[in-house]
Structure formats: C-alpha cells, structure tokens
Chain A
Amino acid sequence: MRWWWLIGLALVAGCGSGGSDDLKVSAASSLKPPFTQLGGARFSFAGSDQLAAQIRSGAKPDVFAAANAKLPDELYADGLVEQPVAFAGNRLVLAVAPKSRIAGLADLVTPGVAIAMGSSSVPIGSYTEKVLSGLPAAQRAAIMRNVRSREPDVAGVIGKLTEGAVDAGFVYVTDVRAAGGRAEAIELPAALEPDVTYEAAVVKGSGHPARARAFIEGLLSGRAAAALRRAGFLPAP
C-alpha cells in the first residue's frame, strides 16, 4: 500500500510546485515574437479581449499586456488592475503574399479577393474597422464584402495569409516581419493609420506585484524594450 501514498504525494507536490515562482504574463498575440525571447516568465498569448475576459472572470496573471489602451483602461476603471502603462506602439499594414498583384487598398474592392481581419472585439479588428471607416462608403462596403474570416486574434489573420487561404489580411507590421519572407507589408495611407498604443498593467491580486512592476519597467527600458525594438515595435507614443 505504501507506493500509493508515494504517488499521491508526488502528484500533490508536482501540482504545487510547477513553476509557481515564474511570473505569469498574459500578452496580446502580436507580442509573441519579442516576448518568447525573454526568460523568467511564463507567457500566455491570445487575443487581448480574450485575456481581459479571463481576468474579469477571476483569472489572476501577474501582468496583462494588451494591444490597445481601451481594454486595460476598462479593467482599471473596474478596479481589476493597477494603473496601466503605455509601453509600445505599432503600425497597421495590409499584408499580402510575396509577389501579390495587390498593391493597395484600391485592389481590395475587386470581387473575388479574399480578405481576413480580426473580429470586432479584438484590438486588431477594431483598429481595422477604424481604418476602413475612413474610406468612402462604397469602397468600405466592397472591401467588407470580400472579408471571409473574422479571426479571434492576429495570429489567425497572418496564418490564413501564409497558408494561402486569403489574398490579404490586416495585421501589424511586426507580424509581417515575424513571418519572414512569407508575407509582404503594404503601407496604409498615413491619414487612415490609427493610433496603436500597447498598454500593460499589474493585475490586482497578483502574487508578485513588485516583480510585475519591474517587468513592466523592463518593457520601457531594458532587455524587453530591446527585444521590442528588434521586432519592429515603435516606442510608446
């Protein structure tokens, strides 16, 4: 009978210890390329809206890093996180396959072109909607008619493009960079470019608030900041 107890103990010990010392960071999908180069933390990547909803449902990561300011600000207003800090910027681009015949937004209205974009609640999706709302109504309608998938995060959008499922997708310029040669970025007219601000906040109830704050400071000036630069993120506006 003795070995039953041993197994039980081992399980309990395993559950308890599993890296509870590591910092838990919930981060937007677009932050995956720079963040996975960092150590000392366990990262969870998903659409920022999904992560915010988890925090609302009681999940307690140590840090929440979102691709917009709206979601952290809402959580702050509801007392779920400490004051958010802006730590990076980004640019929206139109991603296409290499050697694509699409050269700009005008080419997106042609019937038969397949486009992917984010869903309304994920930052990349709402940014894209803002871009499109700056276009004439007819052009916007024609482009929306060509949208074939509203992905839950930006990884899904760039994925559909690199798989050849769509001809174009609205992503961040950092995603195109991370895709290597499998995607090319077409700049959007400056007038349409939205303000893309990344904010991070310490989650209230975190087990390591001091280390969480240190991590966020590192995003502004430290190894993490350097990694963000290398990946193509802009400094915080």
Chain B
Amino acid sequence: MMARPFAVACGAALAVAVAFLALPVVAVFADAPPRDLVSALGDDAALDALRLSFECSALALVAVVVIGTPAAWLLATRRFPGRAALVTLVELPLVMPPAVAGIGLLAALGPDGILGGITGRHLVLQTAGVVVALAFVSAPFYLRLAQAGFAAVDPALLEASRTLGAGEARTFARVAVPSARAALAAGAALAWGRALGEFGATLMFAGSFRGVTQTAPLAIYERFSTDLTAALALSAVLIAVSAGLLLAVKLATRDAVG
C-alpha cells in the first residue's frame, strides 16, 4: 500500500537527478554549431592546453597508482596504532576546497614553503608543479577505492597463495592486485577524471601560462570572457574524453566481476 507513492517519489528523484546532471553536458554541445567547435579547436593555444592537460594528468595518475597501490595495500591489510588517523589524513584532500589545496601546496612546496629549499622554483610555475597539484587532489580518489578493493579480497585467497610458496610481495602482485582490479581501475578512472578537471589548485600553485601550466580548464576559464565558442569547444572535448575514459574503464573491467 505504501510502496506505490514511494516508488513514484523515487522515480521523480531519479528524473530530477538525471536532468540536473545531463543538462549542462547537453547544453555544451548544443550551444555552438559543430563547425565553430571544430575550427576553434584548430587554435594552437587550445591544442597546447589539451596536450598539457592529458600529459600532466597521465603523469599524475602514474605517480598516484605506483605509490598509492602498495600504500593502499598496507592500509587495507594491516592494523596498527594510528591507522584510522592516517586514513583520514590521506582522504583530506577529498574535502578540501581546491584553492585551499593550492595554498597548502604553496605552504609546503612553494619557494617560501617548508620544503622550499629543495623544491623551490622547480615546481611553482612549472609543468612539474601542475603534475604535483593534480596528483595531490586526485590521489585520495584512488587510495580510497584501492583500499576498499584490497580489503574486499577474500583472505583465504591470500592465505592460499602463502601456502603455495608465495611471499607477501608475490601474493600482492599475483593475487591481490588481479583480484582487486575492478576497484583499482575504477579508482584510477575517478582519479584521472579529477585530475583532468582540476583548476583552483593548479592556478594557485603552478600559475597559468600557455604551453607550460595552462591546462584545459584554465584555458576554458580564460576564453570564457573573450571567446565563448572556444570555451565551449574545449569543454566539449574534455567532456567527450572524460566520457570515453569512463566507458573504457567499464568495458575493461566488465569481466572482472566475480
């Protein structure tokens, strides 16, 4: 008796959610004629921005995965004092406003920062700084999902591996990682998407300069006030690529279920 109105309410909520999320995406593609979009992409600065975005986000992703995977493994499989606090700490950038992240990075790695003596001018206003900013904001996405993925691996599988002569390293590489690959892939996709879209921390920490630090989101922001079509074109490309990324991950991990 109570189910009908409830089901209708849920359906309405879903419709609202879908409309809300899909409308801006659709609008980007609908607002400018395709011809203008394509010609705006011929702009060298736009291409530079896209190339920079992909290179920096890919590098950031590699760093996050290489360092984050063993770290997530440790967090998932060991209990040690302070573990809960550590987990909260590495998830902090998730809830941090990007501008705050930028300030934090400056305070730590900027020329006047704590490690300023070592990093100094090597990061700020440099492409390397962009990679650092992207890694900082996207790492928690990966760590969270990787940790959950490892924790969900049947402990009997890990023990079986040990009894078959594999030490912890081999167990990690040959059993844990393949068993958790769906979660790892999802985490990587999420992290990559976050890195591609990062704006505030990049602007504050690395600055905005064409070909060096002006990533696609920064280029979109700059074009918004002078050339809306170009901004739309870049946005459309970013949306298309992000969608492609998500799709690729879904396809690749399709058989990983079960």
Contact = CB atoms under 8 A, between A and B. Distances in A.
Interface of A: 47, 49-50, 52-53, 57, 114, 116, 119-122, 147-152, 156, 159-160, 163-166
A156 B203 contact: yes
A50 to B, nearest CB: 5
A151 B214 CA distance: 10
Contacts of B207: 116, 148-149, 151, 156, 160, 165
Nearest to B210: A150
B111 A164 contact: yes
A119 B208 CA distance: 9
A151 B208 contact: yes
Contact of B111 (A50, A119, A120, A165): A165
7 closest Cβ pairs, A-B complex: A149-B207, A164-B111, A49-B225, A53-B225, A164-B112, A165-B124, A148-B125
A151 B208 CA distance: 6
A121 B228 CA distance: 13
B110 A147 contact: no
Interface string B194-213: 00000000011001111011
B209 A152 contact: no
A152 B208 contact: yes
A171 B213 CA distance: 21
Contacts of B48: none
A166 B225 contact: no
A116 B210 CA distance: 13
Contact of B221 (A114, A148, A152, A164): A152
Interface residues of B, number: 23
A197 B7 CA distance: 61
Contact of A149 (B110, B213, B224): B213
A53 B228 contact: yes
B226 A121 contact: yes
Given A114-B121, A159-B204, A166-B125, A149 B225 contact: no
Contacts of B111: 163-165
A148 B121 CA distance: 11
Given A121-B225, A160-B207, A149 B125 contact: yes
16 contacts: A52-B225, A114-B125, A120-B226, A121-B222, A121-B225, A147-B209, A148-B209, A148-B212, A151-B203, A151-B207, A156-B204, A159-B204, A163-B124, A164-B110, A165-B124, A165-B207
Given A150-B208, A163-B111, A165-B125, 17 more contacts: A53-B224, A114-B125, A119-B208, A121-B225, A122-B225, A148-B125, A148-B212, A149-B125, A149-B209, A150-B209, A151-B203, A151-B208, A160-B125, A160-B207, A163-B106, A164-B112, A165-B106
Nearest to B231: A53
B116 interface: yes
Nearest to B214: A150
A164 B222 contact: no
A151 B125 CA distance: 11
B219 to A, nearest CB: 10
A159 B111 CA distance: 13
Contacts of B204: 156, 159
Contact of B110 (A52, A120, A151, A165): A165
A199 to B, nearest CB: 17
B45 to A, nearest CB: 11
A52 B125 CA distance: 28
Contacts of A119: 208, 222
A152 B228 contact: no
A47 B208 CA distance: 14
A152 B110 contact: no
Contacts of B209: 147-150
A53 B226 CA distance: 8
Which residue, A49, A121, A160, A163, has most C-beta atoms of chain B within 10 A?
A163
Nearest to A149: B207
B168 to A, nearest CB: 43
Contacts of B203: 151-152, 156
Which residue, B125, B203, B214, B228, has most C-beta atoms of chain A within 10 A?
B125
Contacts of A148: 125, 207, 209, 212
B121 to A, nearest CB: 7
A116 B124 CA distance: 12
Interface in B215-234: 221-222, 224-226, 228
